[in-house]
């Protein structure tokens, strides 16, 4: 009976898409779903509105209220335009920047959005072709815009697209603007969307912004002399068919690296991502072709960026000369270790610097910062929170780097989102510095572990798609709150942090307040042996994530494999305790 009621509801919603407000192609697609005796697809496409969340939209492309299409994107843009006009009503001219990636329909969604903004009297700066997300963030600030959008689903599989909303500081929107925009988007009906653009208010931008952005990226180079000595460092890079091809090779060249090899099969712009299962540099499979090329030419480093070039993945040779992947936590460690160590060595520290990491990122970063007397701040997952820390200290303290375990890093403050363009160039500099000192990146990583302590991190993604999946994820969080684990892998839980209530409870049952700027649906468990487990539903994908960090003992670099294996065994025990 319940299923029949759901079918009735989605059928009524779908039939509204058979009106002249929707184009013939969309109507035909909806009619096909309505006529299909199997209502599974109809339910998935219409059981809800694709939620315009605090970061924008992300979903599978297709017809329906729960899919990415010109009508869902159009409603988001119309609602955003309405909010901008309310918020900046005293401005003579409101302006926005629009970027997009290589995905199928990204350019279409970007141009439709430009039309809608311009039809609402808003000036639009539209990139002439795909560009990295960080360049769009930079353009907002450089052009003095009040907002921006980027059409991308980041590292998601090929069937997805997305819509990221940015504010005038170049960061993704935070309170109160996120909720204000969501409210406006929720009011929009299809007949309210102004699809007929005003060409006089749309300005195409491109190469002029590229050069200014690349020049700015070059300013974060810490030791140009080491690059001059190691200009022939052998670098393999892949954009995974995405926007990185329009920025990263050029940036590496500007920094002085002369021996860059791009993976030719993946320097082809394609939203189908034909050479990978998923265009995610977190996945080993995505780096297969790059590592193959690296072996052929005996490269020093492999780097990959995701489709919108905000995340960076990497691989290097271990002590046996074998190519190994460096995970996001380790990459973040390498960045912050190098930045702090070499800024100090070259006298570039003035005493007011700070670094930022997210709450689910490795605690070894805290050890590096504390030992070097550098302020370290924890924030929520997502670079909008790192951007918030930059904004709060602007003109007072100097941000020198921040990152998260999911392969994102930002080394500068003129961009307010993670930036694979600058990260790749800085990563090459770190590799050059290591080589200049007779070391590999792998050996530098071992040096970090030996000085600051060894830990192993592992993330389990429990995927639960669709309506039933969303309900399961919600119930999993309820169960963890009501029946919190007392021990993990045999070690007593000493502290539980609940970011939804902003309360933390110690082993004795004492409850105290947590100081965070907002609530978030995240739970953390800390054990007696310094294991940390963080649990959070993904904000952009149909899954719940378990982030695990366990400590180990490393007496020498030669012991790494053994220490890593012992830590892996401990992680399996933690998983067993959690039942995942």
**Sequence-distant (≥ 6) Cβ neighbours of residue 240 within 8 angstroms:** 266, 273, 276, 279, 281, 286, 304, 305, 306, 307
CA distances from 377 to 322, 357, 389, 448 (A): 35, 6, 8, 20
Helix (H, G, I), strand (E, B) or coil at 61: strand
Q: Return the closest-CA partner of residue 119 out of 159, 80, 154, 72.
A: 80
> Using CB atoms within 10 A of its CB, is residue 268 exposed (0-12), middle (13-18) or buried (19+)?
middle
**327 & 372 share domain:** yes
Task: Transcribe 177-226 into DSSP letters.
Answer: HHHHHHHHHHH--GGG---S--GGGEEEE-HHHHHHHHHHHHTT-S-HHH
pLDDT at site 464: 85
Contact 516, 478 (CB under 8 A): no
Nearest by Cα to 145 from 161, 128, 125, 171 = 125
307 & 444 share domain? yes
Final residue before a domain boundary, out of 391, 420, 452 = 452
User: Residue 551 has what pLDDT?
Assistant: 96
Distances in Å between the alpha carbon of 203 and those of 97, 131, 271, 308? 10, 16, 25, 22
> How is residue 277 annotated by DSSP?
S
Residue 40: strand, helix, or coil: helix
- Name the active-site residue from 95, 118, 154, 455: 154
- pLDDT tens across the length of the chain (580 residues): 358 899 999 999 999 999 999 999 999 999 999 999 999 999 999 999 998 876 789 999 999 999 999 999 999 999 999 999 999 999 999 999 999 999 999 999 999 999 999 999 999 999 999 999 999 999 999 999 999 999 999 999 999 999 999 999 999 999 899 999 999 999 999 999 999 999 999 999 999 999 999 999 999 999 999 999 999 999 999 999 999 999 999 999 999 999 999 999 999 999 999 999 999 999 999 999 999 999 999 999 999 999 999 999 999 999 999 999 999 999 999 999 999 999 999 999 999 999 999 999 999 999 999 999 999 999 999 899 999 999 999 999 999 999 999 999 999 999 999 999 999 999 999 999 999 999 999 999 999 999 999 999 999 999 888 778 888 899 999 999 999 999 999 999 999 999 999 999 999 999 999 999 999 999 999 999 999 999 999 876 778 999 999 999 999 999 999 999 999 999 999 999 999 9
Do 446 and 466 belong to one domain?
no
Same domain, 22 and 62: no
Region of 371 on the Ramachandran plot (φ > 0 left; ψ -120 to 50 alpha; else beta): alpha
- The pLDDT of residue 534 is 97
With tokens 């830990």, the residue in question is 455
* Spatial distance between the Cα atoms of 570 and 350, rounded to a whole number of angstroms: 41
- Examine the fold and report which residue of 205, 233, 259 is the final residue of a domain before the chain moves on: 205
By CB atoms closer than 10 A (0-12, 13-18, 19+), residue 191 is exposed
pLDDT of 538 reads 82
Q: What is the pTM of this model?
A: 0.94
* 426 and 471 part of one domain: no
Same domain, yes or no: 179 and 221: no
What pairs with residue 535 in β-bridges? Answer: 523, 546
| Whether residues 231 and 320 fall in one domain | yes
Cβ-contact 127, 100 below 8 angstroms: yes
Tokens of 547: 């982030």
Residues 6+ apart with CB under 8 A from 95: 122, 123, 124, 125, 143, 144, 145, 146
- CATH code of the domain covering residue 73: 3.40.120.10
Sign of the CA dihedral with 130 first, then 133, 138, and 140 last: positive
Residue 296 and residue 298: Cα distance in Å, rounded?
A: 6
Question: Which token pair is 299?
Answer: 């490269």
Are residues 174 and 263 part of one domain?
no
What pLDDT is recorded for position 469?
A: 84
Same domain as 179, residue 163: yes
Q: Are 311 and 258 in contact (CB under 8 A)?
A: no
Q: Which two tokens stand for residue 251?
A: 């940036």
CATH number, domain with residue 473: 3.30.310
What is the pLDDT at residue 1?
Answer: 36
Task: Answer with the one of 170, 205, 240 that is the final residue of a domain.
Answer: 205
Closest CA to 454 of 531, 529, 552, 549: 552
Beta bridge partners of 547: 459, 534
Residues 431 and 505 in one domain: no
CA distances from 67 to 64, 71, 73, 106 (A): 5, 9, 9, 14
Domain with 558, as residue range(s), is 456-578
Residue 189 contacts by C-beta under 8 Å, 6 or more apart in sequence?
A: 75
Residues 397 and 516 reside in one and the same domain: no
**pLDDT, position 542:** 79
Residues 42-73, buried b or exposed e (16+ Cβ, 10 A)? bbbbbbeebebebbbbbbbbbbbbbbbbbbbb
Residues 468 and 373 in one domain: no
pLDDT of residue 54: 67
Q: How many domains does the chain have?
A: 4
Q: What are the two backbone dihedrals, phi and then psi, of residue 233, each rounded to the nearest 5 degrees? A: -50, 130
137 is catalytic: no
């Amino acid at each position: 009976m319940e299923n029949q009621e759901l079918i009735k509801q989605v059928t009524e919603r779908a039939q509204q898409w058979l009106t002249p407000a929707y184009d013939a192609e969309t109507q035909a697609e909806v009619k096909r779903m309505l006529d299909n005796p199997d209502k599974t697809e109809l339910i998935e496409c219409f059981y809800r509105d694709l939620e315009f969340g605090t970061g924008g939209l992300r979903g599978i492309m297709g017809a329906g209220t729960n899919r990415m299409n010109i009508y869902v994107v159009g409603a988001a843009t119309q609602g955003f335009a309405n909010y901008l006009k309310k918020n900046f009503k005293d401005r003579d001219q409101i302006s926005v920047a629009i970027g997009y990636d290589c995905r199928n329909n990204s350019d279409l969604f970007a141009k439709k959005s430009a039309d809608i903004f311009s039809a609402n009297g808003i000036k639009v700066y539209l990139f002439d072709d795909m560009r990295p997300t960080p360049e769009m963030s930079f353009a907002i600030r450089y052009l003095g815009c009040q907002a921006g959008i980027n059409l991308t689903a980041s590292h998601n599989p090929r069937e997805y697209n997305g819509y990221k909303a940015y504010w005038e500081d170049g960061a993704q929107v935070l309170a109160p603007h996120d909720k204000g925009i969501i409210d406006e988007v929720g009011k929009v009906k299809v007949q309210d969307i102004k699809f007929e653009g005003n060409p006089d208010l749309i300005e195409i931008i491109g190469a002029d912004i590229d050069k200014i952005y690349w020049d700015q990226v070059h300013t974060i180079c810490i030791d140009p002399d080491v690059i001059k000595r190691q200009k022939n460092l052998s670098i393999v890079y892949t954009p995974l068919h995405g926007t990185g091809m329009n920025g990263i090779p050029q940036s590496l060249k500007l920094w002085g690296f002369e021996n860059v090899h791009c993976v030719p099969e993946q320097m082809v712009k394609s939203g189908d991502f034909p050479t990978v299962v998923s265009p995610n540099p977190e996945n080993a499979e995505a780096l297969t072709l790059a590592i193959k090329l690296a072996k052929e030419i005996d490269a020093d480093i492999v780097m990959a960026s995701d489709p919108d070039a905000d995340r960076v993945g990497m691989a290097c040779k271990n002590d046996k000369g074998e190519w190994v992947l460096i995970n996001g936590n380790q990459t973040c460690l390498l960045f912050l270790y190098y930045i702090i160590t070499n800024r100090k060595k070259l006298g570039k520290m003035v005493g007011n610097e700070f670094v930022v990491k997210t709450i689910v990122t490795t605690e070894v970063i805290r050890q590096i910062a504390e030992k070097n007397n550098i302020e370290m701040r924890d924030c929520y997952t997502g670079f909008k929170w790192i951007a918030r820390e930059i904004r709060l200290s602007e003109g007072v303290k100097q941000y020198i780097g921040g990152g998260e375990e999911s392969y994102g890093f930002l080394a500068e403050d003129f961009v307010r989102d993670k930036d694979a363009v600058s990260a790749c160039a800085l990563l090459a500099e770190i590799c050059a510095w290591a080589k200049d000192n007779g070391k590999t990146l792998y050996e530098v990583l071992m040096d970090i572990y030996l000085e600051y302590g060894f830990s192993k991190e592992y993330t389990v993604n429990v995927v639960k798609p669709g309506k039933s999946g969303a309900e399961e994820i919600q119930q999993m969080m309820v169960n963890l709150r009501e029946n919190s684990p007392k021990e993990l892998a045999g070690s007593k839980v000493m502290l539980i942090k609940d970011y939804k209530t902003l309360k933390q409870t110690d082993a004795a049952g004492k409850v105290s307040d947590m100081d965070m700027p907002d609530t978030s649906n995240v739970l953390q468990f800390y054990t007696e042996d310094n294991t940390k487990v963080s649990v959070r539903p993904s904000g952009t994908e149909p899954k719940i994530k378990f982030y695990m960090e366990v400590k180990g003992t490393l007496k020498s670099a030669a012991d790494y494999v053994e220490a890593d294996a012992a830590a892996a065994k401990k992680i399996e025990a933690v998983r067993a305790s959690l039942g995942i």
